[in-house]
Chain A
């Protein structure tokens, strides 16, 4: 007797919105990019006799803690924006604007830090120490700027009442990546 075949159960809706899935795949590739850079940095650091080199200025690890706190706080506020949006979309305006402000503060503070380090003689070509610092932290800053632009776009759409949940989740995913990868970079590069 042939056993009775049962129908494959159907799904009621997509498992994950296309926009979020696309952003997740992009984040995976970017995570590998950072993993590669961190690996190269770790190998160079592991093989160096003196790290950081004696003739190079030290990175301002203590001052950067303030920027780090602002960035982490922006992630927490974005979680609040997420839940506010689920309750009533317009109520997410304030937390989203605060996230944007904290993110902008982070980028501006990093820019000021770079200007000070350049003035002290730490450049891309001054040493591998400087080269890796500007490469890794600069790549992160580019991602932060991109995510700020995405959040700004989401804020504008929210003000017009045109922001969809999927659009917000997609922008959120990008910002969470920028926030969560920063402590790893800080620990590896600054300390």
Chain B
């Protein structure tokens, strides 16, 4: 099946399209997700133990 952008049915080109689509889709999610997970872990370790049981 040819690529809809350049109409090239070469295997190498199709593989490149698949791989780069996956890279450009996953990379930003992985970077931001990784940062959020890291911040969440740091937040957990930094909480004061004596403040966790105080009622409002």
When A12-B46, A47-B6 are in contact, do A35 and B51 touch as well, CB less than 8 Å? no
Q: Compute how far the CA of A5 lies from the CA of B55 in the bound complex, rounded to whole angstroms.
A: 6
The answer to whether A11 and B16 have CB atoms under 8 Å apart is no
The answer to whether A15 and B39 have CB atoms under 8 Å apart is yes
The answer to whether A4 and B23 have CB atoms under 8 Å apart is no
Contact with A6, one of B6, B20, B48, B54 (Cβ below 8 angstroms): B54
* A35 contacts across to B, CB distance below 8 A: 23-24, 27
- A-B contacts, CB under 8 A, total: 75
Contact stretch, chosen from A24-32, A55-63, A80-88, A131-139? A24-32
The answer to whether B48 and A5 have CB atoms under 8 Å apart is no
When A36-B24, A42-B16, A47-B8 are in contact, do A28 and B55 touch as well, CB less than 8 Å? no
The answer to whether A16 and B48 have CB atoms under 8 Å apart is no
The answer to whether B27 and A39 have CB atoms under 8 Å apart is no
> How many Å from the CB of A166 to the closest CB on chain B?
15
B1 in the interface (beta carbon within 8 A): no
The answer to whether B10 and A16 have CB atoms under 8 Å apart is no
Question: Interface residue count for B (Cβ, 8 Å)?
Answer: 31
* A10 contacts across to B, CB distance below 8 A: 47-48, 51
The answer to whether B31 and A43 have CB atoms under 8 Å apart is no
Find the A residue at minimum CB distance from B56: A5
B1-33 CB mask vs A (1 if < 8 Å, else 0) is 000001010101111110110011001100110
The answer to whether B12 and A46 have CB atoms under 8 Å apart is yes
A9 in the interface (beta carbon within 8 A): yes
B-contacting residues of A (Cβ < 8 Å)? 4-7, 9-13, 15-16, 24, 28, 31-32, 35-36, 38-39, 42-43, 45-47
